[in-house]
Structure 1
Amino acid sequence: SFCPYCHRAESELKKNNIDFIKLDLDLRKENDGSAIQASLLELTGQRTVPNVFANGHHIGGCDDTLAALSNGMLVKLLKGEPGKFAEDQESAESSARETPTPIREARM
């Protein structure tokens, strides 16, 4: 991706030894980046990238991801520990089932 915010989020995740799956909308052979971005907007209300998820929970963009790293929430989510993102587990699971596969599998 050519997005500096994507690069920053990716760099911080790597620096913290967090494994992730990256879906680069600009480089997809299927040329469906616009459709995926439209689905993400509908699902999350966020138009910008990166659009980060952890264990089916939407984290947000770069600033949200860095904040979740800083306050420990991202690690808790990845470990499956309860927190503010886990309060509505049933709703998150329902949304994940309805989300197109490429988005469901993407972590960043």
Structure 2
Amino acid sequence: MVDREMVHAIIKDNKVVVFSKTWCPHCSSTKKTFNELGVNFKLMELDKTEDGDIIQDILVEVTGARTVPRVFIGGESIGGNSDLQTLHSSGQLVPKLQKAGAL
């Protein structure tokens, strides 16, 4: 069973992590943005993971939000898709990815 330490380890051990659901259009937009930028990211599809609900509950504790996607860059929660797109359109996403070593 997944616990808080395991979720923190996933976030810490990967430069970029996206907690997603396969059917979610906002998640698709996030994945598309990262794919277009050539970002190698850890993808956790919560609707395809046995402990997806538990992970989502832990993410509420970590980020204060239950919605997906939940995006982490360099161990830092940047929020969801709208936050990611705002960073991208303002020119702040690529430098953040470069600083994290993800580009």
The two structures have a TM-score, normalised by structure 1, of 0.68
Q: Are positions 1:8 and 2:8 aligned together? A: no
Count, aligned residues: 79
Name the SS for the 2:87 alignment partner: helix
Alignment pair present for 1:21 and 2:42: yes
CA RMSD of aligned residues (A): 1.4
Cα pair 1:54 1:74 within 8 Å, conserved? no
Residue correspondence of structure 1 range 1-108 to structure 2 within 5 A: 1-28=22-49, 31-80=50-99
> What is the aligned-residue identity percentage?
38
Query: Structure 1: where are the runs of 5+ without partners?
Result: 82-108
Q: What amino acid maps onto 1:20 in structure 2?
A: F
* Segments ≥4 residues shifted beyond 3 Å: none
Q: 1:72 Cα deviation (Å)?
A: 2.4
Runs of 5+ consecutive residues of structure 2 not aligned to the other structure? 1-21
Query: Greater helix share, 1 or 2?
Result: 1
TM-score by length of structure 2 reads 0.71
1:103 matched residue in structure 2: none
Instruction: Compare the two structures and name the one with the higher strand fraction.
Output: 2
**Deviation of residue 74 (structure 1)?**
2.1
